[in-house]
Structure 1
Amino acid sequence: MKLSARNQFKGIVTNVNEGAVNGIVSIEINGEIVSSTISMNAIKELGLKKGVEATAVIKATEVMIATELPKISARNKFKGTVKNIQEGAVNDIVTLDTKLGAVSSTISKNAVEELELSVGKEAYAVIKATSVMVGIE
């Protein structure tokens, strides 16, 4: 299956914390842990458990960019360097080089200006666990 989501990272499930309705799936990717909050039905249907290969899928519109790491509830925070800024009329696509790989974020041109983003600048990709989908092959 091909997906339109720009961010797709393959890894290994390291933990599944089961709740009554939702669970938190931890996937190790290049030494980083990506947390995903998904339904228990999805966890069971996908057969997610420790050691299973899985792909974290994140739409670029769900990735926030920060130049300083704030105290924030978002579980996923990945340090990187701005690799590219693809300019658009209203939004820009900012790509960060991180340990995960290239993480793309669609943010407003105003945000790019306010954060003073430029190629080579250090920044963080910040993603809520509820914005991370999980797929298996």
Structure 2
Amino acid sequence: MQVSARNVFAGTLTAVVCGAVNAEVELTTAGGDVLVAVVTANSVQALGLAVGVSAVAYVKAPLVMLLTGGEGMRFSARNQLAGVVSALTRGAVNSEVALTLPGGTVVYAVVTNDAIKELDLREGAPATALIKASHVVLGVPA
């Protein structure tokens, strides 16, 4: 299956914490990167989400925020993935930024060209991807 989401993280579920309405589900990639999703309790049951299950997490690139120089800052975004800018594709208004994490996973973000300048994003620069757990969609093999 092909999807329009630019970020596709394949891995294994390493934690599932269920609540009355929602559940927090942790996916760990082969490279050791961890992504947390918040899904409904119904989705946990319908998809059979449990520790050890293979799954894929999807995040659209425009939902990924980028941060530079955030030392000493705390954020409510559950997923804070530090890496290095590995590619920058400029457009007329927006640019696509590829951020490679230490485990080898690549995270893509679409940000404005103004943000590229303001954050001084360039290949080789350190940056952090911020992704709200509610923006992560999980899928499992049928």
What is the TM-score normalised by the length of structure 1? 0.96
**Number of equivalenced pairs:** 137
Q: Which residue of 2 aligns with 1:44?
A: 45
**What residue in structure 2 maps to residue 126 of structure 1?**
130
Aligned mate of 2:91, from 81, 88, 92: 88
Misfit runs of 4+, over 6 Å: none
Q: How does 1:53-132 map to 2 (within 5 A)?
A: 53-69=54-70, 70-98=73-101, 99=103, 101-132=105-136
What is the alpha-carbon distance in structure 2 between the residues aligned to residue 20 and residue 68 of structure 1?
A: 38
Output the CA distance in 1 between the equivalents of 2:36 and 2:80.
Answer: 10
Partners of 2:33 and 2:105 within 8 A in 1: no
Q: Deviations over 1:49-105 (max 9, x none)?
A: 010001111110111111133310111011111111111111110001112511100
Unaligned runs of 5+ in 2: none
1:61 is paired with a residue whose SS is: helix
Q: Contact (CA 8 Å) 1:14, 1:26: kept in 2 or not?
A: yes
Opposite residue 119 of structure 2, the aligned amino acid is L
Three-state SS of the structure 2 residue aligned to 1:49 is coil
Structure 2 distance, partners of 1:86, 1:38, is 32
CA contact (8 A) 1:9 1:100 kept: no
Give RMSD over aligned pairs: 1.0
Cα offset for 1:32?
2.2
Q: Contact between 2:21 and 2:41, CA under 8 Å: does it hold in 1?
A: yes
Report the Cα offset of residue 41 of structure 1.
1.2
Identical counterparts, % of pairs: 39
